[in-house]
Chains A and B, each alone.
Chain A
Amino acid sequence: MGADVSPSLVTLRAVSKTFQTGTRALDNLNLDVRPGEFLTLLGPSGCGKSTALRIIAGLMAPTSGQVEWGGVKPELGFVFQDPTLMPWASVEDNIWLPLRLRGQSKAQARKRIDEALALVGLSRFGGAFPRELSGGMKMRVSIARALVTRPAILLLDEPFAALDEITRFRLNDDLLALQKELAATIVFVTHSVFESVYLSSRICVFTNRPGRVTQEIVVDAPTRDSDFRASALFGQTCQQASAALERAYGLEGAI
Chain B
Amino acid sequence: MKRLIEKLAPWLLFAAAIGAWEITVRVREIAPYILPAPSVIAATAISDWPLLWAALLVTLRTTFLALLMASFGGLALALLFARWRWVERSLFPFAVVLQVTPIIAIAPLLLVYLETDAAVLTCAFIVAFFPVLSNSVLGLRSVDRNLVELYELYGASRWQQLRLLRLPAALPYFLGGLRIGGGLALIGAIVAEIAAGSAGKGAGLAFRIIEAAYRLNVPRMFAALALISLTGIAIYVTFSLVSRLLLARWHESEI
Contact = CB atoms under 8 A, between A and B. Distances in A.
A97 interface: yes
B144 interface: yes
A57 B249 CA distance: 33
B190 to A, nearest CB: 36
B200 interface: no
Interface string A98-119: 1011100000000000000000
Interface string A71-115: 000001010101010111100000001101110000000000000
A57 B150 contact: no
Interface in A183-234: none
Interface string A20-39: 00000000000000000000
Contact of B164 (A57, A59, A100): A100
Contacts of B144: 84
A9 B151 CA distance: 24
A177 B224 CA distance: 72
A86 B165 contact: yes
A101 B146 contact: no
Given A76-B153, A97-B154, A86 B168 contact: yes
Interface string A122-165: 00000001110000000000000000010000000000000000
B251 A80 contact: no
A116 to B, nearest CB: 14
A250 interface: no
Given A101-B156, A131-B250, A84 B255 contact: no
Contacts of A86: 147, 164-165, 168
From DSSP, what is the main secondary structure of chain B's interface residues?
helix
A46 interface: no
B255 A131 contact: yes
A58 interface: yes
Which size bracket describes the interface of B in this complex? 20 to 34
B156 to A, nearest CB: 5
Contacts of B39: none
B48 interface: no
Nearest to B247: A88
A57 B81 CA distance: 30
Contacts, number: 48
B249 A129 contact: yes
B255 A80 contact: no
B150 A80 contact: yes
B250 A57 contact: no
Contact of A97 (B146, B164, B171, B250): B164
Contact of A102 (B150, B155, B168, B169): B155
Contacts of A82: 146
A88 B151 contact: no
B160 A101 contact: yes
B153 A58 contact: yes
Nearest to B255: A131
Given A84-B144, A149-B154, 16 more contacts: A57-B153, A59-B153, A78-B150, A80-B149, A84-B146, A84-B147, A86-B164, A86-B165, A86-B168, A87-B250, A87-B251, A88-B251, A89-B168, A97-B164, A101-B156, A130-B250
30 contacts: A57-B153, A59-B149, A59-B152, A59-B153, A76-B153, A78-B153, A80-B149, A80-B150, A82-B146, A84-B144, A84-B146, A84-B147, A86-B147, A86-B165, A86-B168, A87-B250, A87-B251, A88-B168, A88-B251, A89-B168, A97-B154, A100-B164, A101-B151, A101-B154, A101-B156, A101-B160, A102-B155, A129-B250, A131-B255, A149-B154
